[in-house]
Amino acid sequence: MTLPWRLLQDTIARRFALTIALTILVTVGLTGAVVWLAGAWALPSARDLGLLDRANDIIQMIEAAPRAGRERVADAVANPIFIVSWYPEPSAVAIALDAAAQVKSTLSPSFPATGCRGESSRSRPGGPICP
């Protein structure tokens, strides 16, 4: 099967189309090369991806739930991006997390301790809010 002569003619429209197609292919290739070569440096930050907003939303959902249902809420909001766990106040994990928060607050004043053992909390001008 032979192609009609009109399809093989060299026209300005074909040159523009070929130039645009090659430009797109080169741009995609160079972008892929930069991401591959730069690795983690080329990835957007957590703030740009909205991960901090999602984590804040999860904290607010868990804090809004009654204490008895918080573990079920944490299990419900977990997904492949976030692993969400709820540790009641007297558990060993909650005590260890509280101790780590205390150490971090003494090392860096920009991260104050919440004062809530084993519970997530939000700070406001009047002090921490413990659920």
Average pLDDT for 72-89: 84
For residue 102, what pLDDT is reported?
Answer: 84
Predicted TM-score (pTM) of this structure:
0.46
- The residue extents of the domains of the chain are 5-42, 46-129
For residue 2, what pLDDT is reported?
Answer: 65
pLDDT digits (tens, 9 = 90+) for 25-70: 999 999 889 888 887 777 777 788 888 888 889 889 988 999 888 8
| Model confidence at 1: pLDDT above 60 | no
For residue 124, what pLDDT is reported?
Answer: 44
| Model confidence at 120: pLDDT above 60 | no
For residue 3, what pLDDT is reported?
Answer: 62
Residue 34: how many CA atoms within 13 Å on its side-chain side? 9
Buried b (16+ CB within 10 A) or exposed e, 55-78: eeebbeebbebeeeebbebbeeee
| Model confidence at 89: pLDDT above 50 | yes
